[in-house]
Structure 1
Amino acid sequence: MLTWMQHHKKYLVVTIWISVIAFVGAGFVGWGSYDFNTDRSNSVAKVGNEKISHEEFNLKYSQLFSYYSQLNNNNYTQEQAQKDGLDIQAINELIQEKLLLSYAKTLGLEVSEEEIAYDLAHQKIFHNASGVFDKNLYYNILSRNNYTPKTYEKLIHDELLLKKINMILNLQIKNEELDMFAASFLMQDKLKIQVIHANNIPINEAELKQTWEKNKELYKTQKTYNLATYFLKPDNEKINDKELQDYYDENKNNYKDFSGKILNLEQSKNQVLKDIKLSKLKLKANESYVALRKNELSFDKNITINDADIYYPLELIQKGKEGDFIKPFKFKDGYMIAKIIKINPAQTMTFEQAKDEVSKLYIKEKTKSILEEKAKIALENFQGIDIGTYSRDSAKGSKVGNMMNDAEFSEFLMQVFDSNKAKSYVLFDDKAVIYEIIAQTLENKNKEEVYRFIIEQSARQTKQSLIKEELLKKLIELYPIQRYYKGSTN
C-alpha cells in the first residue's frame, strides 16, 4: 500500500506543501506518533552538522500518518504503519531535508528572526477569538504538547529555509515541456486487459534453503549490548521562592519567546522548576558515577539493548568497549549511568532462525517468476476484454469490476502511461494484468484549458522533483549521514 502511495504521490496534480504548523497540528490532534522523549538521547540521525531530533522525528511521523490516514478514509492504523515501515520513511524524508538544509547554508541562504516571527504570527492555531496572535495561547499549546518555543521556532526556521532552496529549484517551464506534459496528461488509451492469478505456491524445502544460501547475508541478528545500569530520579523536595528566583536570575537567558524576548519567571516557572531539580540531580549523578567506578556503589539493574534503542546514548555505546563506563545521561525524567558488560556482535542467522523471513522472500520471488512466465505466454495469444477508454487520472470503470481494486487500478494506469509498449503486462503481488492499447486519442482543447493550471503545476513539480533527485545524489557524497535509529523493534 505504502509503495503505491509513495510512487503515486509524484503524480498528484496539485503541489502538496504542508507547513510546520500542519506537522504540529497533526501531533496536537493525536495522529500516530512515537514516544520519543528528548531527555533520553540527543538525536535519531545526523547529516553533516545537522542533527535530527526526536521532536522532528515525531512531527514527521505524525504528518505522514495523517497523510496516509486521510488517503485511506481514516482507516490507517498503527499496525499498518509499522508494517509499511512508516518510521523509516519519516527518517528518510528528514535526511533528505537535512541534506537540502546543509546545502542551503553552504549557499549562504539565511532566515531572519523577523521572518520567523511573521510566519508564527500568521499561524491561526495561535490566534485568539479576535483573530490576533496570542502569546499566552502559544506558550500553553506548546507546553501541553511538550514543545519549547526554541524547539518549535527552529522547526519554523528550517521550514522557511527549505522553501527558499525549493524556490531556487523551481525552474521555469518551457513551452515545449508544457506541450509534452499536456499531451501526456490528456492522452487517452482504449484498453483490453486479461488478469492472471498465481495459485497457492507450495514451498520446496530444498529451493527454500537455496534462497537462504543466496541471501543469508541479509538475515542477521542485531548487535546487542549487555549493560549494568544505575537510575536516579529527582527528589520531591520543595523549591522555595528564593531558590527559584536565584536560579531564574542566573539562567534567564535560556527562557525566551519566539522574538527573543526573555520570559518572566511566572511565564517560565514550570520549566525553571524542572531545570533546578535536574541540575541538582546532575550533581548527585556525577557523585554516583565516581562511586560506581570505585566499586563503592552497586548497579541496580542489568539490561540488554540494541542499535534501535535510541533512548540510550548509542554513539558512546557503539564506540565503547567492554568494561567502559557511560557518564550520566538524561533518561526519562532523571539520569542514568551505565557500564558496558558485554558486546554481542551481529551474526548471520541460521537457516532455522531465518526460515520465516526467507519463506516470505521465496514465495514472493516464486510468485513473480510464475506470473511473469504466464504473462509472457498469454501475450502471445492475447484474449483480453475491452474495458473502455482511460486517461492517466481516470477512476476505475465498471467493466474492471473485481479484477483490480482502486489502488491497483491507479498503479496499473500509471505503469501503462509510463510505458512505451502498446502491449505488455503489469505485475502485482498476487496477479499479472496483461494489457493491449487498441486505440489512442487526445482529449479536446477545451479540457486542456480547464486543466491548464493543474498541468502547469504538475509539470513544474515534476521538473523540480527530478532536479531535486539528482541534487540529492550529489549531496549524499558531500554530507556524511549517520543513522542511530534503525527501525521499530516491535
Structure 2
Amino acid sequence: MLDIMRKNASGWIVKILFAVIIVVFVFAFGMSGLNSTGDPVLAKVGDQVVTRAEFETVYQRMAEAVSRSNPDVPREQLQSPEFRKMVLGDLLSRKLLLAEAEKLGIAASDKEVFAGIAVQKGFQDANGRFDKDIYAAVLRQNRMTPAQFEADFKQQLIMSKVKDAVASSARVTAEQARQMYDWVGEQVRIDYIQVKAAMFVDDAAVSGDEVNAFYEANKERFKIPERIKIRQLVFTPVELAKNQAVTDEEVAAYYAANQASMEEGEQVKARHILVMVKDTDPDSVKTEAKKKIEMVLEKAKSGEDFAKLAQEYSEGPTGPSGGDLGWFGRGAMVPAFEEAAFGAAKGDIVGPVKSRFGWHVIKVEDRKEGSARTLDDAKDEIRIQIAQEKASEQVQDLLDQSLDRLVSGMTLEDIAKELGLEVVSGEPMPADFLSQAYGVTPEVTQALKELAPGKAYESPVNINGGYMLVEKVEDVPAAYMEIDKVTPAITNLLKNQKTAELAGNKADEIHKALIADPVGAEKTYERKIAVSEPFDRQGNITGLGASQELAEAVFAAKDTAWLPDVYVINNSAVIARLDERIPASEATWEQQKDFWMEQAGNAYKQEMLAAYMDELSKNADIEITRPDLLQ
C-alpha cells in the first residue's frame, strides 16, 4: 500500500501520510541516572554523547518490551543491526528534542510529573486510583527504580511539550479530509483469469539428473558451516532439582499450606468480533458501529463461519486469526465482556456486548468448570516445586565447589562425578548460534570459538535462572549435506518451479490473445473470466490472495482494457482488467466526517513533527563514532 500511495496520490495527502514513519518507544527507560564514565562512546550529537552502556540499557529494555507485546517477533530480528540502529535513532531523537527544549525554556515541574504518573492505567487499582504498591511492582518487573522512572517520565513530558508546540498550528479543511477519505475508501472490482500452477503437476516431472545438476550448481546452499560441540555443567534450580529428595510428608505439608492456590478457576475458550467505537465519538459514528455489529451478529447466528466473519469484520488485533482469544479465566477480560462470556453455554453466540473498546459479538467454543485439585492430582507438580526450592539454595555453593575443581585442572565430567551432578553434551552448532541457544554474550561466544578442544571456559556463564560451566568438545569443520538427504527438498523445489513456469506460459498465451483481439479472445475464454469482490488499495482480493502490485496497476488504470502485465499471486498466474470503480460512500462520509477530520489533522501534525525532526537532524552535528557496536 505504501508504494501505491507514493506513486498514485498527489499533493498534501502523500506528504501527510508518508513523509516519515517515526517509531516511538514510550517506555524506553534508562535514559536517566546512568554513570558511564570511561565507557566507549557510540555516538555524538552536538556536545552530548551516547555511550555503549546507555545504548545497551535502552536496547535491552526496548527488545524486552517488544517481545512482551509481540511474542511472535523472532529473536534474530530483535538482535539485528537494523533494530539496533532503530534504537539508536530514537536515542538521538530524544537528545535532540531535550536540547531544543532547553533552548526554548520548556521544562516540567515535579507536580506535573507526579500528576502524569498517577493517571497511567498500569499503576492504578481496580477503582482507577493510583496504587503505590502496583507502581513499585511494575517498576521492579522492568528493573527500574522510582527515581529512574520518574526522571525518564519527566523527559518524556518535556519532549511531549515540544511536540505539542510544533504541532499546535496544524490545521486541515473539510475538503482536505474528504480527499483522504475518498482516496482510502475507494474500491474496485476486476475481471480476471486465474491459471493455477497446481493444474500442471502431472506435466512437471523431475528427473534424477535434474536433481543432481541443481545440487552441483547450488552446492553452497547445502553447506553446513563450521560448528563447535560443547558440554555444559548447569547450575539452575530446574537442573539441580532432579538430585533432590522430596518426601511424601513434605508434599502433604506443602499441599495443606497452599491448598487455596490449588483450585483451578472456571475458564472459557472463545472467539470475538470487535467493532471499535469510543465514548467520545460523534453519535453518527456510534450509530454506524451499532448497525454494523448487529449485522455481524445476524450473520453469525444464521450459521456463517464465525472465524471468517472475524477476519472480514473484526477491527481488533485478533481479527486476522479469526477472533481467537484462546482459553481465559475470570479477571482476564473487561467486566462486561467477561460477564457475557462466562454467562454463555458452549456453542452460544452472544451480543452485542459493549465495552470501552467498542461492540463485541462473542462465540463460546468451550468451557472448563472450576474445580479443587486433590493432593493426588497435584502431588507431582508439588514435588517438582519443592525440589526446585531446595535446589535453589544449593546453586551458589555447588557452583563455587565446581569452580575450585575447574581451576585445579579437573574436567567437567570429573567434577560432575565427584559432586553427583550431570554433564550435558549438546549437538554441534555454529558458534554464532550460542547466543540464541543459551543467551550468552558475544564476548563469551568469541571466547568459546577460540578455545582449544578439551579446554573449559574458566568463568561461569550467566544463563536464564542460573549459571553454567562450558567445555569445548570438538571443532566440526564445514561440510556439504549429502545429496540423498536433500533430494526430496530439491525435487519439490524444481517441481514448483516447473508448475509455476507452465502456468506462466499458459497465462502469457491467454494474455497475448486478449491484448491482440479482446473481443474474440474474450468469447474463447468466456467461461474462465471471473469477477472479483470489491477490494481496496491494500490489494487483499477474495479468491486470489494479496497483491499490492496488481492493486496498484488496477487503481492506476485509465480504462477497462486488460492490464499489460501478468501477475503472480499464491502459485497462480493472473490476467486482469478494471471492471468497476466504487467511490467511497457519501453516506458514510457524512457519518464519519468528524473522524476523518481528526485523522487528517493528526496526520498533518505528524508531517509537521517529521519535518521539524528532520530539520533538527540536518542542523545537528551527529557522528556515529563506533558503528561496530551496532552489529
User: Cα distance, 1:187 vs. partner?
Assistant: 4.7
The amino acid of 2:212's aligned partner reads K
1:338 aligns with 2:470: yes
Counterpart mapping for 1:83-482 below 5 A:
86-91=74-79, 94-104=83-93, 107=96, 109=98, 121-140=118-137, 147-149=142-144, 184-185=183-184, 187-198=186-197, 199=199, 200=201, 201-232=204-235, 284=401, 286-292=403-409, 298=415, 301-304=423-426, 306=429, 307-310=432-435, 311-313=438-440, 315=442, 316-319=444-447, 320-323=449-452, 324-326=455-457, 327-382=459-514, 383=522, 384-387=529-532, 390-392=535-537, 403-404=543-544, 408=545, 414-416=551-553, 423=563, 424-438=565-579, 440=581, 443=584, 450=593, 451-454=596-599, 479-480=627-628
User: Cα distance, 1:379 vs. partner?
Assistant: 1.7
Q: Distance in 2 between matches of 1:193 and 1:439?
A: 13
- Percent identity of the aligned residues? 15
Alignment CA distance shift 1:301-1:442 (3 Å): same
Secondary structure of 1:195's counterpart equals strand
User: Cα distance, 1:370 vs. partner?
Assistant: 3.0
Q: Distance in 2 between matches of 1:381 and 1:358?
A: 35
TM-score by length of 1: 0.56
Q: Distance in 1 between matches of 2:571 and 2:134?
A: 52
The amino acid of 1:425's aligned partner reads V
Secondary structure of 2:86's counterpart equals helix
User: Cα distance, 1:431 vs. partner?
Assistant: 1.7
Secondary structure of 1:325's counterpart equals coil
Secondary structure of 1:298's counterpart equals helix
Alignment CA distance shift 1:95-1:478 (3 Å): same
The amino acid of 2:70's aligned partner reads L
Q: Distance in 2 between matches of 1:205 and 1:466?
A: 60
What are the Cα deviations for residues 389-441 of structure 1, in whole angstroms up to 9, with x where unaligned? Answer: 65436986xxx6xx33xxx2575764545767961333123222321125557
What are the Cα deviations for residues 58-86 of structure 1, in whole angstroms up to 9, with x where unaligned? Answer: 54234235xxxxxxxxxxxxxxx6xxx74
Alignment CA distance shift 1:18-1:53 (3 Å): closer
The amino acid of 2:425's aligned partner reads I
Do the aligned residues in 1 keep the contact of 2:192 with 2:530 (CA within 8 Å)?
Answer: yes
The amino acid of 1:197's aligned partner reads K
Q: Distance in 1 between matches of 2:604 and 2:74?
A: 28
Do the aligned residues in 2 keep the contact of 1:364 with 1:429 (CA within 8 Å)?
Answer: no
What are the Cα deviations for residues 327-351 of structure 1, in whole angstroms up to 9, with x where unaligned? Answer: 1122343332222232224434333
What are the Cα deviations for residues 160-212 of structure 1, in whole angstroms up to 9, with x where unaligned? Answer: 87x969979x9989999989866743554452111111122543433333333
User: Cα distance, 1:225 vs. partner?
Assistant: 2.0
Do the aligned residues in 2 keep the contact of 1:371 with 1:427 (CA within 8 Å)?
Answer: no
Structure 1 unaligned spans of 5+: 23-46, 66-80, 237-273, 484-490
The amino acid of 1:392's aligned partner reads R
Cα RMSD over matched residues? 5.9
Partner of 2:67: 61
User: Cα distance, 1:154 vs. partner?
Assistant: 7.7
Alignment CA distance shift 1:393-1:342 (3 Å): closer
Secondary structure of 1:60's counterpart equals helix
Alignment CA distance shift 1:314-1:122 (3 Å): same
Do the aligned residues in 2 keep the contact of 1:185 with 1:455 (CA within 8 Å)?
Answer: no
Do the aligned residues in 1 keep the contact of 2:537 with 2:548 (CA within 8 Å)?
Answer: no
Alignment CA distance shift 1:100-1:457 (3 Å): same
TM-score by length of 2: 0.45
Do the aligned residues in 1 keep the contact of 2:230 with 2:473 (CA within 8 Å)?
Answer: yes
Do the aligned residues in 2 keep the contact of 1:181 with 1:459 (CA within 8 Å)?
Answer: no
Secondary structure of 1:341's counterpart equals strand
Do the aligned residues in 2 keep the contact of 1:415 with 1:426 (CA within 8 Å)?
Answer: no
Secondary structure of 1:196's counterpart equals strand
The amino acid of 2:573's aligned partner reads A
Higher mean C-alpha deviation, range 446-455 or range 217-226: 446-455
Q: Distance in 2 between matches of 1:457 and 1:287?
A: 63
Do the aligned residues in 1 keep the contact of 2:235 with 2:395 (CA within 8 Å)?
Answer: no
The amino acid of 1:317's aligned partner reads T
Structure 2 unaligned spans of 5+: 7-13, 29-49, 102-107, 242-390, 417-421, 515-521, 523-528
Do the aligned residues in 1 keep the contact of 2:227 with 2:478 (CA within 8 Å)?
Answer: yes
Alignment CA distance shift 1:181-1:427 (3 Å): farther
Alignment CA distance shift 1:480-1:19 (3 Å): closer
